[in-house]
Every structure is written in structure tokens, then in C-alpha cells.
Amino acid sequence: MKIPNALKNCFFIIFILFLMAGCATTQQQLLDSEQSQLRLRSIQTRAFDTTDKEKTLRTVITTLQDLGFVIDKADATLGMVTATKLDRYALRMTVTVRPRGETQLLIRANAQYETTPVDDPETYQHFFSALQKAMFLAAHEVD
């Protein structure tokens, strides 16, 4: 039987798509190596002019609740909070708070949406603008 041309084209296109899809192995995702570490840090981190770690953590928790998250874990000593938002999708977020110098705290947030890391600056910007409203303090970008 002669294979029609259209069918041949079709197979060819699917083959190309397979090639495109197959360029990332699933193991590579363990360390998300394709991401630039520095870029990620700068979009996920802000500095605040306060040294009260406990109060800051409490404000982080309040903000997460305002945004519809339910807290999974919190640790005052390590300065971290993990929370999950379920709204048809699942969004998981960890926020850490640590001192920066004598006068500031660094807050870093990282989020995962379903099974992908969130790496667009705008989403984090929304989080930090919500947070700075609750903190009554400005969030400073860090290099």
C-alpha cells in the first residue's frame, strides 16, 4: 500500500516534535541546572530595614494567609515558613528570613507551581509588594 504524502508529512512533523521535546532529560531537573543562580536569587530576594526576625516571620505568615495559603511548616530558629495554596492549582512556597549585616533582614521566597519552578520576576514582585504593605516597610532590591 502506498503511504499518502500527507501522512508522511504528519509523521515527519511528529518526529521533529519528539526531538524538540526530548532535549531535556528528567534527571536534570534535580538541580534545575538550566537556571542562572544569580538571576534567581535577585528576583526572589528583598532586604528590609528591620532586625526583628520573629515579627518579620509572623508578618510573612500573615501575608501568606492573606494570599490564600495554608501553612505547612514554620520554624522560628531557622527562620523559614512553607505554605501551600490550593485554588484548582497547587502553589507551594517557602519563605526564609535571615539577617543581613547589622540593620537588615533578607527575605527570600521560592515558589513551585504544580510541577514547575516559578521563575518570573513579576510573580515574586506581587508577593513582596503584598509583604511590604503588611510590614509597613519598603522592600529593597538586592544585587
Point out which residues bind other proteins (CB under 8 A).
4, 6-7, 9-10, 13-14, 17, 20-21, 54, 57-58, 61-62, 65-77, 81, 84-91, 111, 113-114, 116, 118, 120, 122-124, 126-127, 130, 133
Q: Which residues of 67-104 are buried (b: 16+ CB within 10 A; e: fewer)?
A: eebeeeebeeeebbbbbebeeeeebbbebbbeeeeeeb
We find the least distance from the C-beta atom of residue 116 to other proteins, in angstroms, to be 6
**Residue number, 90 or 103, with CB nearest to other proteins:** 90
Give every CB contact of residue 132 below 8 A, 6+ residues apart in sequence: 46, 48, 138, 139
**Residue number, 83 or 106, with CB nearest to other proteins:** 83
Handedness of CA 93, 56, 103, 79 (dihedral sign): negative
At residue 138, what are phi and psi to the nearest 5 degrees? -80, 145
- State how far the Cα of 77 lies from the Cα of 123, in Å rounded to an integer: 27
The vertex-46 CA angle with 91 and 31, nearest 5°, equals 55
We find the least distance from the C-beta atom of residue 67 to other proteins, in angstroms, to be 6
**Residue number, 1 or 101, with CB nearest to other proteins:** 1
**Residue number, 20 or 101, with CB nearest to other proteins:** 20
**Residue number, 114 or 143, with CB nearest to other proteins:** 114
